[in-house]
Structure 1
Amino acid sequence: MTAKFIVIEGLEGAGKSTAIAVCQAYLENKQVDFINVREPGGTAMAEELRNIVKQAHQETVTGETELLIMYAARSQLVANVINPALEKGTWVLGDRHDLSSQAYQGGGRGIEQTKLSFLADMVLNGLKPDLTIYLDIDPAVGLARAKGRGELDRIEQEALGFFERTRARYLEIAKTDSSIKTVDANQTMPEVHAAITTVLDNFFAGLN
């Protein structure tokens, strides 16, 4: 079977970590050889870029600077980890990918699609997840959950409107891309996990 690229997406507090754990257990049960990656991050340089973009700074971080850092980190991860893994037959399970930039920097920051498309084309060179599970949550609920985990990073401290715009872009893109499956993350954890399992069941059924 050709290696596949599966990504978990969602706002802060949507439950990505537990969703990834569900996916890990599912793939292990299927005896699939896979690796985990996260964005931004996943390589030594990309992790340094993650720290830069996540931490607070005395100067204003422009939306364009944030976008460029995200794609710089993604470039390192794609070239040095994701593509080599897929080429040797290892599946990749990702915590965020390009859809995050489309939603956060495109929707939340309002950066023009032409700029996003240019960077995506340059960095990804046609790479696209085979399956994206988008965990959709009310931004107010998600932020309350995130605050309950502890101190918020620079992006998590944005106003509610930023996350409402981000969510709107997520949903807009998901409606036009059949590889993106939306799961209602406002449900109870068992219900969310059951929905994720159903998505994975359908995905694997389509591979046969």
Structure 2
Amino acid sequence: MDARDRRPTPVPLRPLHLLHRTDWEPAIPVSDDGPPARSGEPAGRPRGLFIAFEGGEGAGKSTQVRLLCQWLAAHGRPPRATFEPGGTPAGAAVRAIVLDRAHTGLSPRAEALLYAADRAQHAHAVLRPALEAGEVVVTDRYVDSSLAYQGAGRTIGLDDVAAISRWATLGLRPDLTVLLDLPPEIGLARARGRAAADRLESESLEFHQRVRDTFRTLAAAAPGRYLVLDATRGVEELAADVRERVGALLEVHT
């Protein structure tokens, strides 16, 4: 049996600490002890393990989320799998708006605020409760997608999107972000080949190149949080690399 497939001992995770980098908060200082407590807001870091998958269109995020979740369940850590936008009933309504090509007139700022509203409810109803219960949470997209798509793709600017995102999530960040990196022309061909293009998939190649460039910049600025993988590689190769990194996190934080 490959060492990376050894069964982790299914015991509760100890609390983790926020990364010391600003990560997706370019203009917001973050202390070593995490975001400061505010009235009515929980302080400190939740107890679970939070994993986010990021990448452009057609990168294979949903496939890798599914494979990781299957592996975690088989090794005694059944995860909470979720996604953005739309990971809550309210979020499903937001998803219908932001991805529908009928809403081409939606302003970039309105779009960013809709994603932030979806994420605020997602963090409140799904992410934080699961993490505080000690669960492993795996999400298909999170804050870095808004930085890349709205901040850079829509050219709103990363600082404003980061500030909105921090407020919406109470500063909740992943312990690991897996970036599936792919040239946008390849990813768009994949995405458009499987279904009719949605509102974001219909954007220009230049838009999607800005998205990719920003994901790569974010990863370079926070190497401790990111696992960057070449998404032109085979599905099983990628899954093995993800399992190796996640397995190491489970061993360290159990």
**Displacement of 1:59 after TM fit?**
5.4
| SS of residue matched to 1:57 | helix
Aligned to 1:86: 131
Compute the RMSD of aligned alpha carbons: 1.5
Aligned to 2:38: none
Which aligned runs of 4 or more in structure 1 are off by greater than 3 angstroms?
A: none
Match of 2:169 among 110, 124, 127: 124
After TM superposition, the score normalised by the length of structure 1 is 0.94
- Structure 1 unaligned segments of length 5 or more: list them: none
Give the whole-Å Cα distance in 2 for the aligned partners of 1:184 and 1:202: 20
Aligned to 2:231: 185
**Displacement of 1:205 after TM fit?**
3.9
Cα deviation code 1:9-48 (max 9, x no counterpart): 1111101111011210221133114211110111111100
What letter corresponds to residue 93 of structure 2 in structure 1? E
Matched, 1:169 2:214: yes
Aligned to 1:134: 179
| SS of residue matched to 1:84 | helix
After TM superposition, the score normalised by the length of structure 2 is 0.78
C-alpha change, 1:33 and 1:197, in structure 2 (3 Å) is closer
Give the whole-Å Cα distance in 2 for the aligned partners of 1:203 and 1:149: 34
| SS of residue matched to 1:195 | helix
What letter corresponds to residue 115 of structure 2 in structure 1? M
C-alpha change, 1:58 and 1:189, in structure 2 (3 Å) is closer
**Displacement of 1:87 after TM fit?**
1.4
Give the whole-Å Cα distance in 2 for the aligned partners of 1:70 and 1:58: 14
Out of 114-123 and 95-104, give the one that drifted further. 114-123
| Greater RCO (CA < 8 Å, at least 6 residues apart) | 1
Give the whole-Å Cα distance in 1 for the aligned partners of 2:166 and 2:247: 31
Match of 2:90 among 42, 45, 51: 45
Aligned to 1:109: 154
Matched, 1:199 2:233: no
What letter corresponds to residue 185 of structure 1 in structure 2? A
What letter corresponds to residue 187 of structure 2 in structure 1? G
Equivalenced residue count is 208
Out of 111-120 and 164-173, give the one that drifted further. 111-120
Give the whole-Å Cα distance in 2 for the aligned partners of 1:89 and 1:156: 35
Aligned to 2:16: none
Cα deviation code 1:50-91 (max 9, x no counterpart): 001100126511111110110011111111111111112222
What letter corresponds to residue 228 of structure 2 in structure 1? T
Aligned to 1:24: 69
- Bigger share in helix: 1
